[in-house]
Structure 1
């Protein structure tokens, strides 16, 4: 069984850059955030399927990957 590194919820699971997730900012800082940018984003099925299985539902995709993948 292959071990994987823990998923950083503040990093995009596709490119590793900051995902700018307002939910994670609020969780880390305790400061109430406005709704996250991703609430208005469209995520294609192909883009979601490209997330490695071990990272699914653990970290948000960044805006650049969403734009590139849709």
Structure 2
């Protein structure tokens, strides 16, 4: 059985769209401004909550980042 592919456009914590500028650009072909996440702080605790199989494959959304 093959592992399920990770949808990089969805937050690995809540499953909602993460609005990652890089993913939007890939999907639309339209150049995007710098992503909101370039100005965000992600704590070690928040990053540790990302399931191992999704780490470094999908961005955390702004809502989940703000909850931390």
Q: TM-score, normalised by structure 1?
A: 0.91
How large is the RMSD of aligned CA atoms in angstroms?
Answer: 1.3
Look up the match of 1:27.
26
> How far apart, CA to CA, are the structure 1 residues paired with 2:56 and 2:27?
18
- Report how far residue 5 of structure 1 moved: 2.2
- Report how far residue 68 of structure 1 moved: 0.6
Look up the match of 1:60.
59
The one-character-per-residue Cα deviations of 1:23-60 (angstroms, maximum 9, x if unpaired) are 10001111100000000000000000110000000000
**1:46 partnered with 2:45:** yes
Unaligned runs of 5+ in 2: none
Q: TM-score, normalised by structure 2?
A: 0.93
Unaligned runs of 5+ in 1: none
Number of residue equivalences: 68
Displaced runs of 4 or more, over 2 A: 2-5
